[in-house]
Amino acid sequence: MIIGAGVAGLSAAWRLERAGFRDYVLLEMETLAGGTSRSGQRGEFNYPWGAHYVPVPMRHNAPLIQLLSEIGLVEGISDEGEPIIAEQFLCRDPSERLFYDGRWLEGMYPFEGASQEERRQLAEFRDEIDRWVAARDHRGRRMFAVPMAVGSDDSVVRQLDRLSMSQWMDEHGWDSPRLRWAVDYGCRDDYGLSIERVSAWAGLFYFASRVSKPGQESQSVMTWPEGNGRVVEHFVNAVGDHLRCGVAVAEVRPGSSGDGSFDGPIRVTGVEMGSFEPIGWNADEVIFAAPQFLARHLIRNSDRELVRDGKEFQYGSWLVANVHLRDRPATRGFPMCWDNVIHDSRSLGYVTATHQMGIDHGPTVLTWYHPFADVDASETRRSMLRLEWSDWAELVMGDLIKAHPDLPSLVTRLDVMLWGHAMVSPRVGFVWSPARINASKPLGSIHFAGTDLSGIALFEEAFYHGIRAAEEVLSRIGYDHQPMLPLRADSTS
């Protein structure tokens, strides 16, 4: 039994399928699979509701390269062993622009008007990132690698988790507002946290883990009009009728072996979301691929005592809006890109759903992202329960109008998605805490998957944990399979 059909649960099911093991059920509470990688479709447009890109994996991530090959994205392998992705799936140029000082500029850093000192600090920051990219620990591992399980757990990197990204920048004397804005933007974008709250480990992971060699750019990104919904669709097809949507699991009750440890059949009780009828299963093994904060509500032993707390796992909230337009807004400066960021805003701006289709004129959908990066998440969740569509629509339009005054006359529809527990927060001290490190360990026949087990929310981490949990199950039941894990990265990759 796999609980939760986000990327982690789907990856676990995909792994079982590829091993030829088909005696399983995948349960999903929502009417559609995908979790935070879900997408939407209306008329001729597909668009994301959450995750919208995956960076090209480095050669050590063989299972992910296998998945991408299945989807038809990989054209070949380079002489250096790196996957070559077909051009139409790489983010098309121009990829990003920034609304700064009343007009759009190409790229994410406003070079225009930057002082010598600001440029010096940017160069110094880049050199420092290159130093981390080049460094290897005593076991020859990269300091930061994707998935994080392949990277170093040396004290040199772990101690970065004890301070915030902002403190780490202070230590280097980097006070340039442009640099601090760019770093803060990156952290809000990937983690939904400002540099004051995110751990320096996570901040450095963002900048260093996707650069293959010093001096190079980050890995190119793969994207689709519907974002990572494209990968979800592949998984859903692979899993077939093992997937059952519209069933919320309400209780997971492990059997007891009598000596206090959990073993034997697990009673899983769910609720059919349409009829609210209860429904139950007995499972030999369970993969819990729902977020960790739910474990304390769902997993109870036979005396109905709490089995896992999970309180250390904290989650930020996000608002995502899909804004449908009859035509493009007027632009001052650089033309519309895939990623369009407004400098004087706490939103992340928007991605354009038609960009990857090569359609640069006429109707489109803008997917606008806003992490509540500076406020207490439980406060935001309470507002989410209280406020109405019109309140959120006002927030969305109030932000977009700064860069596009003519937008109101072009909007035909505006939908919002409130993600209460959108993604795990890699706040100071969490990623290398015992609570996070130990959470991946199984409790008898209950195994855990989910990106939150890495302390950061990324497609590759969810995929990794799904595969790991599925292989744990296959090994436990003695099912013959060729392991995909552990991943082996040589010291040059």
Ligand X SMILES: Cc1cc2nc3c(=O)[nH]c(=O)nc-3n(C[C@H](O)[C@H](O)[C@H](O)COP(=O)(O)OP(=O)(O)OC[C@H]3O[C@@H](n4cnc5c(N)ncnc54)[C@H](O)[C@@H]3O)c2cc1C
Q: How far is the CB of 319 from ligand X (least distance, A)?
A: 9
Q: Is 422 in the site for ligand X (CB under 6 A)?
A: yes
Answer yes or no whether residue 50 interacts with ligand X by CB under 6 A. Answer: yes
Give the range of 24-32, 134-142, 170-178, 406-414 binding ligand X by CB under 6 A: 24-32
Sheet holding 26-28, edge to edge: 243-245, 26-28, 2-3, 286-288, 446-448
* Between 249 and 342, CB nearer to ligand X: 249
Sign of CA dihedral 283, 233, 396, 94: positive
User: Nearer to ligand X by C-beta: 163 or 319?
Assistant: 319
Residue 320 bridge partners (DSSP): 369, 417
Least separation in angstroms between CB 175 and ligand X: 30
Would you call 207 exposed, middle or buried from its count of C-beta atoms within 10 A (0-12, 13-18, 19+)?
buried
Candidate list 57, 83, 291, 455; residue touching ligand X; CB under 6 A: 291
Question: Contact, 300 vs 408, CB < 8 A?
Answer: no
Q: Which is nearer to ligand X, 9 or 225 (CB)?
A: 9
If binding is defined by CB under 6 A, does position 30 make contact with ligand X?
yes
Q: CB of 457: closest distance to ligand X in angstroms?
A: 4
- 8 lies in the binding site for ligand X (CB under 6 A): yes
The contact mask relative to ligand X for 440-469 (x = CB under 6 A, - = no) is ----------xx-----xxx--x-------
Instruction: Encode burial over 450-465: b for 16+ CB neighbours within 10 A, e otherwise.
Output: bbbbbbbbbbbbbbbb
Q: Find the shortest distance in angstroms from Cβ 348 to ligand X.
A: 9
Question: Phi then psi for 329, rounded to 5 degrees?
Answer: -70, 160
Q: How far is the CB of 490 from ligand X (least distance, A)?
A: 25
Interface with ligand X includes 225 (CB under 6 A)?
no
Residue 167 neighbours by CB distance under 10 Å: 14
Query: Binding of ligand X at residue 423 (CB under 6 A)?
Result: yes
CB atoms under 10 Å from CB of 41, counted, come to 11
Of 16 and 29, which has the nearer Cβ to ligand X? 29
| 3 near ligand X (CB under 6 A) | yes
In whole angstroms, what is the distance from residue 323 CA to residue 368 CA?
8
Report d(CA 475, CA 460) in Å as an integer: 22
Nearest distance from C-beta of residue 191 to ligand X, angstroms: 9
Q: How many residues does the chain have?
A: 493
CB of 156 to ligand X, least distance (A): 26
- Stretch binding ligand X (CB under 6 A), from 84-92, 132-140, 300-308, 415-423: 415-423
Tokens 């309180």 belong to residue: 311
**Look-up of token digits 């691929």:** 289
Q: With binding defined as CB under 6 A, does residue 289 bind ligand X? A: yes
Rounded distance, CA 167 to CA 165, Å?
Answer: 5
248 binds ligand X (CB under 6 A): yes
Question: Does residue 252 interact with ligand X by CB under 6 A?
Answer: no
Q: Out of 16, 85, 320, 365, which residue is the one contacting ligand X (CB under 6 A)? A: 320
Q: Does 279 bind ligand X (CB under 6 A)?
A: no
> 29, 73, 145, 146: which one contacts ligand X (CB under 6 A)?
29
Which tokens belong to 26? Answer: 């995948």
Residue nearest to ligand X as judged by C-beta position: 6
- Where do runs of H (alpha helix) occur along 284-388? 295-298, 377-386
Cis amide prior to 486 (ω within 30 degrees): yes
Nearer to ligand X, 328 or 381 (CB): 381
Q: Tell me if residue 8 falls in helix, strand or coil.
A: helix
User: How far is 100 from 112, CA to CA, in rounded Å?
Assistant: 10
Contacts (CB under 6 A) with ligand X, residues 365-404:
369
The number of beta carbons lying within 10 Å of the beta carbon of residue 245 is 15
Which residue number, 176 or 291, has a Cβ lying nearer to ligand X? Answer: 291
- The footprint of ligand X on this chain (CB under 6 A) covers a number of residues equal to 37
Residue 469 to residues 1, 426, 454, 485, Cα–Cα distance (Å) = 12, 22, 13, 10
Query: Any contact of residue 290 with ligand X (CB under 6 A)?
Result: yes
- Interaction of residue 4 with ligand X, rule CB under 6 A: yes
What's the min distance (Å) between Cβ of 297 and ligand X? Answer: 8
- Tokens matching residue 136: 């290897």
Where does this chain bind ligand X (CB under 6 A)? 3-9, 27-30, 35-37, 50-54, 248-249, 289-291, 294, 318, 320, 369, 419, 422-423, 450-451, 457-459, 462
